[in-house]
Structure 1
C-alpha cells in the first residue's frame, strides 16, 4: 500500500465555469489540503507540503472508526465549518497556533478521493471507480468525516450554487482520470473572486509585488503585499511612474524591509478570495492600475 509522504494531485486554473459530459464538478473547500493515511486504525495526516500535522487536529484521529477497514489512504481538505456548514479559513488558521487544541471546535475532514484501500492501491483506477469505492468503505458520515458531493456535467449550475452560498469556487475533474501525484490538467479549479480598489503605498525592490493600504479617517491602514497580474506593458508603465512618488516610510518598516515606499496617490484594483484574520488579502492580485 502507498506510504507517506506523497505528493497530492494538484489542479490547474480555469477562469470560467463550463459544462461537459466528461467531467464531474465538486465544491472547492477552503481549508488545508490533507492526505490521511490509516494503517491498522492509526491515523497520520500529511499537508500538501509533505509536513505532518496530526497533533494539530487530534479529533481527526477518530476517523478510523468511521470506515470499514483499518487500512486506507484518503485525499481531502481539513476545514473549520460554521453552523451553516461553510468553511471559515480564519478560524482554521488559528488552530495551527494553538498549543492545546479544543476538540469541541468544528473541525472536519472533507474527503473526495481514495488512493488505497485495504492494502490495495487504487489510485490508477478511473476517478468514478475510486469514488464508488470510497462511498463503499464509509461506515457513516459525521461532523468529523464528510464525503464531498458532486454533480455530473453541469459545472455552471455548481458554480452558481457556490456563488449564491458565498463559497470559494468549484473543482472540475475528468471522470476517467487516474490519480496523478503532480499537477494535472485532468483537474481544474474555478475560483469565485472578490474585487476592491486600494491605495498603492509601496513596492518590492524586485518589482514583483505592491504594498497596498486604505485611509480610515486620515489614518493609513496597511493591507499587506499583493502579487501582480498585469500585462508586461502595464508593469513597465507602472514601474517607470512609481519612482516619481518615492517618499520616506509611511508606517513602521520592520514588517516590510524590502519595500520602497511611495506617496499614496495612486490606486489599483485587487482580485482576492477573502480577507484574512490579519486584514490582508488572501490570494490577492493586482489586476488594474487606476491612473
Structure 2
C-alpha cells in the first residue's frame, strides 16, 4: 500500500435536498484529490488516478511528521502570491490546475514563485506500516489530527456539525459545496457509497445570452451576460432545444469567422455552473432551459 498507486474512495454525489444529518461535515475544496505517502521522511504524491506527481510539488519534500510512515488523503489547492497583500488569500481552481499541469523542473520552479500549493487533508489511510482503513472515520480523524499540524504546506480540514448550515454558508461565499462523512463508517478503496462519504455541490445559476455557435467540430454555444463574454457551453442541451434554437437563430445571424457563427444576443437561457474562474468565466456551464417560450418558437 505504501509507495504504491492506490485508488481512494470517491465521494457519492447528492442533491441539496438530500443533505444528511451526519455530524461530520467539511467544505469541499476546489482543487484536485491527492494522496501523500510519507515513508521515514521521504515523500511521494499520487493523483486519485494513480499518477505520481511528486516532482510537481517540491513543497511536499520538506514535510516532517511525528510518525514513521503514513498515507494522507486530501486535496491540492493553490493560492495566487501576486494578489495585493491587503486582500484575504483566495484559492482558485485555475491555479490548482496550472500547478498540476506544470511538469518540467524549470516550469515548476518558475510557477512556484507566483502560485503556492497547499494541501488540506481530511483522512489518513495508513500509519506506521499498517492500513487503518477499517477504523471508523472518527477514529481515523483523531489519528490524522495527532499526526498533522497546520503549516504553510499541510492542514487538517475543519469539521462542522451541521451540513445544512455549512451548505448555506458555502452558497453565500460562492464555494463549491460540502462533503459529509459518516462517523462510524470505514474507508472503502476504489469505490463510492452513499453510506460512507458524500458531496453536495452548491451550483450557481445565471441568465445568459447565446451570442455565437461553433459550426466546426464539437458542440459549442458562446455565452455572454449583458454584453460580456462569459465562456462556452460545451454540454449540449436536448435535441428539441437545439432544434428550436436553430429555427429562431437563423433570423439573428450577424456573420461567421474562424469556425463560429455570431448572432444578435437576443436568445436568453438559464445556465447552471460550478463557480467563476479566475478570469471571470463560468466553470462547467450546463443548460437548464430557455428563459421564454417565445424565444424558441
Q: Which band: TM-score by shorter chain? A: 0.7 to 0.9
- Unaligned stretches of 5+ in structure 1? none
From 149, 157, 162, the equivalent of 2:165 is 157
Q: Is the 8 A contact 2:230 2:282 kept in 1?
A: no
- Measure the CA separation in 1 of the matches of 2:43 and 2:173: 32
- Measure the CA separation in 1 of the matches of 2:34 and 2:235: 26
Q: How many residues align?
A: 272
> After superposition, where does 1:16-55 map in structure 2 within 5 Å?
16=16, 18-20=19-21, 22-55=22-55
From 118, 129, 132, the equivalent of 1:119 is 129
TM, length-normalised to structure 2: 0.79
SS in 1 for 2:15: coil
- Unaligned stretches of 5+ in structure 2? 81-86
**Bigger mean CA deviation after superposition, 181-190 or 33-42:** 181-190
Residue equivalent to 2:94: 90
Q: 1:59 to 1:287 in 2, by over 3 A?
A: same
Residue equivalent to 1:194: 204
Residue equivalent to 1:73: 71
SS in 1 for 2:24: strand
TM, length-normalised to structure 1: 0.80
SS in 2 for 1:125: coil
Q: Kindly state the Cα deviation for residue 188 of structure 1 after the two structures are TM-superposed.
A: 1.6
- Measure the CA separation in 1 of the matches of 2:230 and 2:177: 27
Residue equivalent to 1:143: 152
Residue equivalent to 1:171: 179
- Measure the CA separation in 2 of the matches of 1:222 and 1:104: 25
Residue deviations 1:198-227, cap 9 Å, x none?
2333268899x542222776xx84712332
Residue deviations 1:16-35, cap 9 Å, x none?
16351x44111111112101
Q: Kindly state the Cα deviation for residue 278 of structure 1 after the two structures are TM-superposed.
A: 5.7
- Measure the CA separation in 2 of the matches of 1:238 and 1:142: 51
RMSD over aligned CA atoms reads 2.9
